[in-house]
Structure 1
């Protein structure tokens, strides 16, 4: 037995395998390096991640930070024994948040915690995190793998993540300039993203569906539909911001339309949304039916097919749609407009056909 193995024996007896952790880090190094961008100023293994942002051409650089997790969607990953998508979710939830203010994500840090490190599962998770970072042109700068015996049930883990982005202060998107007449452009979601999964899991468990059978109304399996990762909008939106003035943006997450859209609206305005101006994915029809929910209830819980919203002036709307329609990584729909707010009315009005 090596000297290092003897030194770690006491900790191993307590349930923490230091050597397994070290081997895991060695196996993911190339994956992590595949996310490195020109600003990364370090190799893997330091106590802190070093990043030197390019601020050339900026008047007043500002950092924008966000943190999030995957939530109870992880329970389905455990149930389906599929772990290669939740890492994408993890990155998406944070980078889409910092994007709302016009910031380009710079780097990401992840936290993976489990009772006993299963390297194959952990590698799948990190592979997903790396894929999410590549899709958002964001470096995986560091993270933490915590093995905590007795803290989590066997076979389970938890994830959290932290993104830092940067925007030039004069180009910060705040929503303060939104006025009546402005246009709402919705960007299609890939599914339920990472919200409403306590209800989704309950409905799935009650449905009798098997993970490997076709999902109702779809040619994909139940597992593929229910753990489809959150769409990342970074490239499409940043490209648009280079050309078009955008007044406000919304990441449609927990709370759906009714809670998220007002976060970027002046108090004197209402977002009037035309339901049916975008296609409804099969997963939302199924959730509505299985949960015996109304569409207003659905729009309070889920994104219902629109994961991100842009607000721009009428004169910019046509050009924005033209630019978005030319891309193959996003679907865009003109879904409504900003109107004057009536006294005591809500800030989101959904008009049903």
Structure 2
């Protein structure tokens, strides 16, 4: 008997998974990229940059992975982790260069790991960056059943000419919202509780008329990357805010000087039905919804009024959602909520 395997760790499965990861990377990024997989470390050439300033971020998909396991659908989860990380460096005008991932699981199932890796590689391609390495860890006793964790690390380079100019923010500047694709990757512990998914996962396959889809199809929509939208109007944007965990209340103050308030007008955009369904089913107070979820807006641009029309014309479905006012003793005010 293989003693290590009897403890729950299967090296054969790990090696098979590594081969599938390399195959996925090769198909999407080419053989030279695939050759980096399995090395002790990965390298990236930045010699073409004269004085590069690197920027990095790390994030996890969180408990959205549990819904992925419940539905056995792994094709989008890589987009969730790559896009979430890329958006965080976009806020500082970072151009993504390369990406690494970490997958921790109770049992390495090669086909599952291969699907996750393929979606990560595909998302990297869409974000114009290279998947250069990662780690897959089999940890029975830490994870149980089909549970797994997915974490990503992105490194980018800054363009000094495009670095955020939040010191230029002034009263009267406008907030432009770019739509999300639904829940994205935050608030899934609450989602699971509201819909009782841990004890009744079959709810995910139930058709929801208000969503025109099953609940699972809606919840597993991938986190959007805003790389293309940012490129289109970078020179006209003073500051950007990725609406992630903590919603508007916790994220907007990270980019707005303390002597100003961001005032939002929720009636200026259509809040997606998934948020209404969640609030009604969970009997959640309005303010908590805005503290937890993105409420249909994934990225916020802060701009001068003179640039409003140009940006709205350049970025489909974007809309004016608020304004910068003098400090009202609250960094964020949501009209009708507070």
TM-score scaled by length of structure 1: 0.88
Equivalent of 2:122 in 119, 131, 134: 131
How far is 1:303 from its partner? 0.3
Preserved CA contact (<8 Å) 1:101 1:174? no
- Name whichever of 180-189 and 205-214 sits farther off: 205-214
**Which secondary structure does the structure 2 equivalent of 1:229 belong to?**
coil
Structure 2 Cα separation of the partners of residues 210 and 13 of structure 1: 35
Structure 2 Cα separation of the partners of residues 36 and 307 of structure 1: 28
Structure 1 Cα separation of the partners of residues 283 and 206 of structure 2: 23
Preserved CA contact (<8 Å) 2:17 2:109? no
How far is 1:238 from its partner? 2.2
- C-alpha deviations, 1:271-295, integer Å up to 9, x for none? 1111121111110110111122233
Structure 2 unmatched ranges of 5 or more: none
Superposition pairs of residues 70-89 of structure 1, within 5 angstroms:
70-89=61-80
Aligned residue number for residue 319 of structure 1: 310
Verify: 1:28 aligned to 2:28, yes or no: no
Superposition pairs of residues 258-273 of structure 1, within 5 angstroms:
258-273=249-264
How far is 1:240 from its partner? 2.3
Preserved CA contact (<8 Å) 2:65 2:77? yes
Residues 346 and 229 from structure 1, CA distance in 2 versus in 1: closer, same or farther, beyond 3 angstroms? same
Verify: 1:14 aligned to 2:7, yes or no: yes
Structure 1 Cα separation of the partners of residues 34 and 134 of structure 2: 16
Structure 2 Cα separation of the partners of residues 35 and 348 of structure 1: 42
Verify: 1:285 aligned to 2:271, yes or no: no
How far is 1:112 from its partner? 0.6
Residues 300 and 216 from structure 1, CA distance in 2 versus in 1: closer, same or farther, beyond 3 angstroms? farther
Preserved CA contact (<8 Å) 1:215 1:225? no
Provide the aligned C-alpha RMSD in A. Answer: 2.4
TM-score scaled by length of structure 2: 0.92
Structure 2 Cα separation of the partners of residues 34 and 237 of structure 1: 28
Verify: 1:340 aligned to 2:326, yes or no: yes
Equivalent of 2:196 in 205, 217, 222: 205
Structure 2 Cα separation of the partners of residues 233 and 35 of structure 1: 21
Structure 1 Cα separation of the partners of residues 286 and 267 of structure 2: 11
Structure 1 Cα separation of the partners of residues 6 and 284 of structure 2: 51
Aligned residue number for residue 178 of structure 1: 169
Structure 2 Cα separation of the partners of residues 132 and 347 of structure 1: 34
How far is 1:40 from its partner? 6.3
How far is 1:54 from its partner? 6.0
Structure 1 unmatched ranges of 5 or more: 1-5, 326-330
Verify: 1:233 aligned to 2:217, yes or no: no
Preserved CA contact (<8 Å) 1:94 1:162? yes
